[in-house]
């Protein structure tokens, strides 16, 4: 087994602390073993990576108390702190985080099987996201460093925190997606309880000390264990002001249900999607195939933005299928650090079996696997199967596969994919391949109302992170982007004063003496 020295697992990682009250607390209780589905030996065997705490309800509530005390109903040090001081804490955190790149990247590869290049990208993109968030927050702050006047009333309007946030991220982007929730939530003055995803947990270990020493006591609390054991009692306390979750709607719904004060709870959710590709008769097939390969199979299709169903016009479907299937078969499967690797081990136990079930169900209902290698099974992987013709009664049409299987349907009339999208519970993005503007114009005008991003001749994706990332129906709640996330994790709040000498003297005095952190017209540079 040829594992480059830099990526070998030399020692087990025992993450035996959790963060509450600003301190890494040692955990002596039950631990969970962490295994990688990547083998270190030529006889296949999952690799033992280490252990993480299996905390109980008691520690979950301890973390909740810690976050609530730090927020202190909006009177805590953090929510009332000067914007520039919060920014300084975040800068301290990110500068330490940058020093942990190699460790985090290595764990991203082992824990979730992401390729070296994509793992590096995930890390770097997250660091950039933090810096961009800091800059954007400065801009928001500068924009509100003023008084407005309407109808004889002055208003000093800013964005303020909402309270205590429970933050839960997904395993496919255990660093990036989680931090895209946590970082804006914190910088806006909220306090947070963060539980890492089910895979990609150990990669938080190298960052624990930076969390501990960068923020005031109780602002960030990091707990490890099962979602049901930890998140449910936290929600049931009724003390959570925001649920920030990227994952599936079943857990999002269950968690919302357990919160007794529904209108107190704000939501930032990124949920399932079944983004379609629509290939029109005049599409440039070379370009379409390249984009559909990356759209369906980057990170083995384990992306919420992945293309999860392809609609090809009947005039081009045969040619598309032939060339697409051939290209899928050329993709290299291997370990994340292998050169040229595109397909990598699946981190979830039972995932290959699930994908096989989808394939079997489709075959039984009339589809064929049209690529030679489709369904080849390894201990920790199943080679992507291209399925055609797929019909609406098949599971692969209805379920979000989140893995390497590609359903293709042919269409004659554009209303077919449009009706299917309208009927679907999801509404994140779509990719449209074609050139004729007479056809594209009305199509675009409809699609923008069915989803939240129409990708013209390119696959679906979240980035660049400055653009809005959201979805309709069951795909999302609230909008994320560098700018929008800061809005989503805050609320407009203001001081109003009637224009009279009595009030104006008070406001002037507040501004001159700089005694309030809220009332300030200072510009942060």
Q: Does 475 bind ligand G3H (CB under 6 A)?
A: no
Tokens of 256: 């919302």
Contact window for ligand G3H (CB under 6 A) among 137-145, 201-209, 225-233, 302-310: 302-310
Q: For the CB of residue 228, give the shortest distance to ligand G3H in the complex, in Å.
A: 22
**Nearest CB to ligand G3H, comparing residues 159 and 303:** 303
- Pairing type for strands 429-433 and 476-477 reads unpaired
How big is the site for ligand G3H, counted in residues (CB under 6 A)?
A: 9
**Nearest CB to ligand G3H, comparing residues 279 and 304:** 304
- Name the helix (H) or strand (E) containing 232: helix 227-236
How far, CA to CA in Å, does 163 sit from each of 71, 241, 335, 489, 512? 6, 5, 42, 9, 29
Q: Does 400 bind ligand G3H (CB under 6 A)?
A: no
- Left if phi > 0, otherwise alpha if psi is -120 to 50, otherwise beta: which for 485? alpha
Q: Does 181 bind ligand G3H (CB under 6 A)?
A: no
- E strands within 264-337? 266-270, 275-279, 307-313
- Left if phi > 0, otherwise alpha if psi is -120 to 50, otherwise beta: which for 200? left
**Nearest CB to ligand G3H, comparing residues 370 and 405:** 405
Q: Does 172 bind ligand G3H (CB under 6 A)?
A: yes
**Nearest CB to ligand G3H, comparing residues 232 and 475:** 475
**Nearest CB to ligand G3H, comparing residues 121 and 487:** 121
| Cβ neighbours for 92, distance < 8 A, ≥ 6 positions apart | 210, 213, 214
128-148 burial code (b ≥16 CB/10 A, e <16): ebbebbbebbbebbeebeebe
Instruction: Tell which positions 45-104 bind ligand G3H, by CB under 6 A.
Output: none
Q: For the CB of residue 301, give the shortest distance to ligand G3H in the complex, in Å.
A: 10
Among 156, 303, 342, 483, binds ligand G3H (CB under 6 A): 303
Q: Does 304 bind ligand G3H (CB under 6 A)?
A: yes
Q: For the CB of residue 403, give the shortest distance to ligand G3H in the complex, in Å.
A: 13
Q: Does 305 bind ligand G3H (CB under 6 A)?
A: yes
Among 111, 136, 141, 177, binds ligand G3H (CB under 6 A): 177
Q: For helices 176-187 and 116-143, give the axis angle rounded to 10 degrees.
A: 20
**Nearest CB to ligand G3H, comparing residues 62 and 272:** 272
**Nearest CB to ligand G3H, comparing residues 107 and 304:** 304
Q: What is the three-state SS of 111-176?
A: HHCCCHHHHHHHHHHHHHHHHHHHHHHHHHHHHCCCCEEECCEEEEEEEEECCEEEEECCCCCCCH
CA angle 367, 368, 372 (to 5 degrees): 160
Q: Which residue has the tokens 């993709």?
A: 331
Contact window for ligand G3H (CB under 6 A) among 93-101, 197-205, 303-311, 315-323: 303-311
Q: For the CB of residue 290, give the shortest distance to ligand G3H in the complex, in Å.
A: 16
Q: For the CB of residue 341, give the shortest distance to ligand G3H in the complex, in Å.
A: 17
Q: Does 274 bind ligand G3H (CB under 6 A)?
A: no
**Nearest CB to ligand G3H, comparing residues 62 and 177:** 177
- Write each residue from 431 to 470 as x if it is in contact with ligand G3H (CB under 6 A), else as -, in one continuous string: ------------------------------xxx-------
Contact window for ligand G3H (CB under 6 A) among 170-178, 202-210, 285-293, 450-458: 170-178
Burial class (CB in 10 A: 0-12, 13-18, 19+), 467: middle
By 3-state DSSP, what share of the chain in percent is helix, strand and coil, each rounded to 5? 40, 25, 35
Residue numbers of the site for ligand G3H (CB under 6 A)?
A: 172-173, 177, 303-305, 461-463
């Amino acid at each position: 087994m040829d594992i480059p020295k830099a990526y070998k697992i030399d020692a087990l990682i025992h993450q035996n602390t959790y963060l509450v009250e600003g301190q890494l607390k040692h955990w002596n209780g039950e631990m969970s073993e962490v295994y990688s589905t990547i083998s270190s030996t030529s006889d296949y065997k999952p690799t033992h990576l280490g252990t993480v705490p299996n905390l109980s309800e008691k520690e979950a509530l301890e973390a909740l108390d810690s976050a609530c005390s730090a927020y202190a109903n909006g009177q805590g040090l953090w929510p009332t702190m000067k914007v520039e001081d919060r920014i300084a804490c975040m800068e301290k955190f990110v500068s330490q985080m940058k020093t942990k790149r190699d460790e985090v990247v290595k764990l991203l590869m082992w824990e979730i099987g992401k390729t070296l290049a994509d793992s590096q990208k995930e890390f770097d993109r997250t660091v950039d996201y933090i810096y961009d968030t800091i800059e954007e927050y400065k801009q928001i702050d500068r924009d509100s460093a003023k008084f407005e006047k309407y109808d004889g009333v002055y208003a000093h309007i800013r964005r303020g925190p909402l309270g205590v946030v429970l933050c839960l991220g997904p395993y496919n982007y255990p660093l990036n997606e989680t931090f895209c929730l946590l970082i804006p939530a914190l910088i806006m003055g909220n306090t947070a309880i963060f539980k890492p995803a089910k895979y990609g947990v150990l990669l938080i270990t190298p960052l624990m000390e930076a969390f501990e020493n960068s923020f005031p006591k109780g602002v960030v609390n990091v707990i490890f264990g099962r979602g049901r054991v930890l998140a449910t009692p936290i929600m049931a306390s009724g003390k959570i002001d925001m649920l920030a979750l990227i994952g599936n709607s079943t857990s999002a719904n269950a968690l919302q249900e357990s919160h007794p004060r529904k209108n107190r709870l704000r939501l930032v959710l990124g949920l399932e999607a079944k983004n379609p590709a629509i290939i029109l008769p005049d599409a440039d097939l070379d370009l379409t195939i390249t984009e559909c390969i990356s759209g369906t199979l980057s990170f083995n299709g384990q992306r919420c933005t992945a293309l999860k169903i392809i609609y090809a016009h009947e005039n081009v479907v045969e040619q598309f299928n032939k060339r697409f299937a051939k290209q899928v078969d050329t993709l290299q499967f291997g370990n994340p650090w292998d050169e040229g690797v595109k397909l990598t081990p699946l981190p979830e136990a039972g995932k290959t079996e699930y994908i096989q079930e989808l394939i079997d169900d489709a075959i039984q209902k009339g589809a064929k696997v049209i690529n030679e290698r489709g369904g080849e099974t390894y201990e920790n992987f199943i080679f992507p199967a291209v399925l055609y013709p797929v019909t609406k009664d098949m599971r692969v049409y209805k379920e979000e596969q989140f893995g390497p299987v590609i359903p293709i349907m042919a269409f004659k009339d554009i209303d077919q994919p449009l009706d299917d999208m309208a009927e679907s519970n999801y509404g994140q993005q779509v990719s449209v391949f074609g050139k004729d503007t007479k056809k594209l114009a009305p199509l675009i005008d409809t699609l923008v109302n069915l989803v939240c991003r129409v990708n013209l001749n390119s696959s679906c994706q979240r980035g660049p992170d400055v653009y809005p990332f959201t979805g309709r129906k069951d795909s999302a709640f609230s909008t994320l982007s560098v700018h929008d996330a800061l809005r989503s994790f805050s609320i407009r709040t203001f001081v109003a004063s009637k224009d009279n000498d009595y009030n104006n003297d008070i406001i002037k005095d507040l501004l001159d003496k700089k005694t309030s952190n809220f009332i300030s017209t200072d510009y942060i540079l």
